[in-house]
A and B are shown apart, each in its own frame.
Chain A
Amino acid sequence: MIARLFSFRGGIRPDSHKKESSGAPIRPVPLPARLVVPLIQSSRGGARPIVTVGDKVLKGQCIGEAEGKTGTAIHAPTSGTVSEIGRYPMAHPSGLESPAIVITPDGEERWIAHEPLDLATASRDELILRIQASGIVGMGGATFPSHIKIGKDSTIETLVINGAECEPWITCDDRLMRERAADVVRGAMILRRLNGARRVLVGIEDNKPEAIAAMSAAARARMDTEDADGGARIDIVTVPTRYPAGGERQLVRVLTGIEIPANRIAGDFGVQCFNAGTAHAVCRALVHGEAMVARIVTVTGDVERPGNYEVPLGFPVADLLALCGVRPGVDRVLMGGPMMGFTLPKLDAPITKGSNCIIAASPGLFPPAPPEQPCIRCGRCARACPAGIQPFDLYWFSRSRNFDKAGEYHIFDCIECGCCAYVCPAHIPLVDYFRFAKSEIRARDEERRAASQARARFEFHTFRLEREKAEKAARLAAKAAETRASLSAAAKADAAEQNVAPPPPKPPT
């Protein structure tokens, strides 16, 4: 199919640095001394532990049950013993601690019995429940629970599979699509069946020709051999390499022409978007009965053996780096890509479902930012902004704490992709200013909400006191009236009595 492509405004073309890690096939890693499996590995709710310290677990065994409707389950990434359940530092910009289950591997890698579903007979609800129970979340990094997205009752026309992988350095989806294209395509077709889309579009940037070839072959094979998909098409679409073409809204725009506003979701426009890794995980879970216990992680930067590794969840970042041979001079480690990733505060943090890339950064590869200079309003940021906003205006408003104006100028349309800061000749960390302004606005709104709640509470309290006072007064009045009535009744009775009885003799005067 010759797909008509659309374009999005802005974007940048940084050096891709994909070659460093994309050459070698996905490699397994040896088991570490312990795996720290966080109970919260999704952006919406977590899991409740269902094992206790000392329990023996098998690989793929559920160790944390999905909490509520939005939670996702977690599983033992290998066989071994539950050695601790506690709070551990996570891969988070501020090094937050989070509850986790620590597993000491027994080295046997014994799987729990696989229970694949019979796709021909299983109902939609069963499949979606299994996605939740298999712990599947968006693997592009946002970790949104897939069962919530796919379970929404929207009318979906197009399923978009995101294989763009637009961030420099990251190649995990590239390798995955090259090596496991059939599973990705199969997973995509299952997702299509669940959301009822008529067509599937897989967007891949044109700097990954091998992945495009492998995926195209897998898609053709799938459409040639099976009728199960009801004649639905899956098309592999080559999209121009331009960061952030892999942003959900940007990719949907490029593939379908639809611009989803910041305050809406793709489903409102008949589109759903899943990462290629997520489609792969769906296939493993439903077709093969394997829960999500590992993911592909790109390890790159200043390391001796850059590449892609199939890493059990809970694997300490430090062990992974040691495995790849960190070169001298590395002064920090990034998680995620260089555009949107963050510096890891602690290297003992574990790999989780959203960890797509680890970059050993040295000043040589990632020079420190030159000193910040005043903004000259050159407008390069606005030209580069894929959200179509004017970063330099927002910079002035954020700096001067003019948050109302920042809101009016669409600061919440900012996707923090970093294009503005990348091109800024004055080296202003624009995204930092916007994060600051957003958090201030959120805090202020929260405060206002709390204040208005407090006021409402206070007003109700006052009202209640008034009411109680009024009620009390009314009660007292009623009682008084009653007393008066009974008194007067008594008086009347007395009087009647007196009327009946002969009048008392008048006292002598």
Chain B
Amino acid sequence: MTSPHIRQPASVQRVMLTVLLALAPGIAAYVWQIGAGILVNLAIATAAALAAEALVLKLRARPVALTVTDGSAVVTAWLMVLAFPSIVPWWLTVLGALFAIVAAKHLYGGIGQNPFNPAMAAYCAMIVAYPALMSQWPAAGQGDFAAQLQLILGGSREVDAVTGATALDTLRTGLRNHADVNTILATGAFGFVGGRGWEWIAAGYLAGGLFLIATRSIDWRLPLGFIAGMGGTACLFWLAAPERFASPLFHLASGGAMLASFFIVTDPVTAASTPRGKLIFAAGAGIIAWFVRVFGAYPEGIAFAVLLMNICVPLIDHKTQPAAFGQRTRP
């Protein structure tokens, strides 16, 4: 046996469990504001992801038990479900989980090897394949679990009763109709800073994210970069034309901005790895996401932004290598 002969008590499992723990406040807020339907889809996605992981590992003749229990598939499943509308039908959740684990993760070589964020890849695949289902968001404040369960487990999709336009959707439609931002924001879909109800979930993600930073589970540069990228871009446009562009605070509190800041762009496998590279990667994702939201064809653009930046990671990493010890020393 060779040195070092001692190791910190750390494990991949512990890393993943910390992430799951940090998601708890956001999920709790979700259940409180939107309804418990999300828990059903979380359970379905977890089961599907674990089954897919085990199956592919077996097919690939890799150690099944060690990797299935590392928790990474569960993290992927949860992040995917939290990015999806919580009332998508069960089969869509299963399909998404399969796509994330089999296509986005294992086809590239499994954990640690995938260039694209699996949860975001699944989101993109599903929103392209099922644009209608992926756009039906539950309305805040109703929390009708029976109705949500009905939608998830099948049967008819009488969605009008439980769905509502999201904040980003309402803003987008309003602006298309040439309304003023302030007039739009005065409608019932909005709360203090973002979508009514949804802003609490964003606060939950923020709390979990700060816990991750405090425990050094994630690098602060990634959330900071994303928030600065999206918030900074929004700020520039908002200052220039406040009647046509929503405030940076609105953008950061709406949609998946907080989830992305602390849980999506922070995926170590697919993010840039150098200190400066992390800032560039996350800021790029934030900027692109804002442009897709405001000028693109989809109300939420984070998934596309993240995948686009994933492509750039090798280049970013290569160009931002930190100086080794003594390299900056002048003789």
Contacts and interface: CB of A to CB of B under 8 A. Distances in A.
Interface in B63-98: 63, 66-67, 70, 72
A410 B11 contact: no
A77 interface: no
Contacts of A418: 3-4
Interface string B306-331: 00000000000100011111111101
Contacts of B328: 259
B323 A388 contact: yes
Contacts of A376: 12, 15, 72, 111-112, 268-269
Given A261-B325, A388-B327, A425-B14, A341 B3 contact: yes
A389 B3 contact: no
Contacts of A254: none
Contacts of A269: 329, 331
B70 A379 contact: no
A427 interface: yes
Contacts of A93: 2
A419 to B, nearest CB: 8
B7 interface: yes
A392 B112 CA distance: 11
A382 to B, nearest CB: 7
Nearest to A416: B3
Given A376-B112, A379-B219, A426-B12, A387 B325 contact: yes
Interface stretch (A132-140, A332-340, A447-455, A476-484): A332-340
Contacts of B324: 261-262, 387-389, 410, 413
B2 A370 contact: no
B5 A338 contact: yes
A373 interface: yes
Contact of A378 (B268, B317, B326): B268
A390 B4 contact: no
A424 B4 CA distance: 11
Contact of A262 (B14, B15, B325): B325
A264 B328 CA distance: 13
A259 B12 contact: no
Given A373-B66, A373-B67, A390-B273, A343 B1 contact: yes
**Interface majority SS (helix, strand, loop, mixed), chain B:** loop
Interface in B273-331: 273-274, 317, 321-329, 331
A491 interface: no
Interface string A412-450: 010010100111111101011001000000000000000
B113 interface: yes
A12 B325 contact: no
Interface in B3-60: 3-8, 10-12, 14-15
Nearest to A413: B324
A423 B268 contact: no
A114 B195 CA distance: 88
A341 B327 contact: no
Contacts, number: 143
Given A249-B325, A376-B112, A376-B268, A422 B66 contact: no
Contacts of B219: 379
A122 interface: no
B174 interface: no
A14 interface: yes
A423 B111 contact: no
A373 B16 CA distance: 14
A261 B326 contact: yes
B185 to A, nearest CB: 39
Interface residues of B, number: 39
Interface in A326-361: 332, 334, 336, 338-343, 361
A373 B273 contact: no
A374 B15 contact: no
A261 B2 contact: no
A370 B11 contact: yes
Contacts of A332: 1
A253 B327 CA distance: 13
A421 B5 CA distance: 9
Contacts of A366: 5-6
Contact of A421 (B7, B66, B322, B329): B7
B110 interface: yes
Contacts of B12: 373, 376, 425-426
A425 B216 CA distance: 13
Given A258-B329, A259-B329, A388-B327, A338 B110 contact: no
A83 B265 CA distance: 70
Interface centre among A377, A380, A418, A429 (most CB of B within 10 A): A377
A339 B112 contact: no
A395 to B, nearest CB: 10
Contact of A386 (B63, B72, B110, B325): B325
A259 to B, nearest CB: 4
A426 B268 CA distance: 13
Given A260-B329, A262-B325, A369-B7, A377 B268 contact: yes
A378 B15 contact: yes
A373 B6 CA distance: 17
B11 A427 contact: yes
B3 A377 contact: no
A157 interface: no
Contact of A427 (B6, B7, B322): B7
A392 B271 CA distance: 14
Interface string A370-407: 11011111111011001111101100000000000000
Contacts of A110: none
A92 interface: no
Given A340-B3, A341-B3, A427-B11, A382 B273 contact: yes
A8 interface: yes
A431 B111 CA distance: 22
Interface centre among B12, B110, B113, B317 (most CB of A within 10 A): B12
Contacts of B268: 376-379
Contacts of B15: 376, 378, 425
6 contacts: A249-B326, A261-B326, A339-B5, A376-B72, A422-B6, A431-B4
Given A342-B2, A376-B112, A425-B11, 9 more contacts: A264-B331, A341-B3, A379-B273, A387-B324, A388-B322, A388-B323, A390-B274, A410-B324, A421-B7
Top 5 A-B pairs, shortest CB-CB distance: A418-B4, A261-B326, A425-B10, A259-B326, A374-B112
Interface of B: 1-8, 10-12, 14-15, 63, 66-67, 70, 72, 110-113, 216, 219, 268-269, 273-274, 317, 321-329, 331
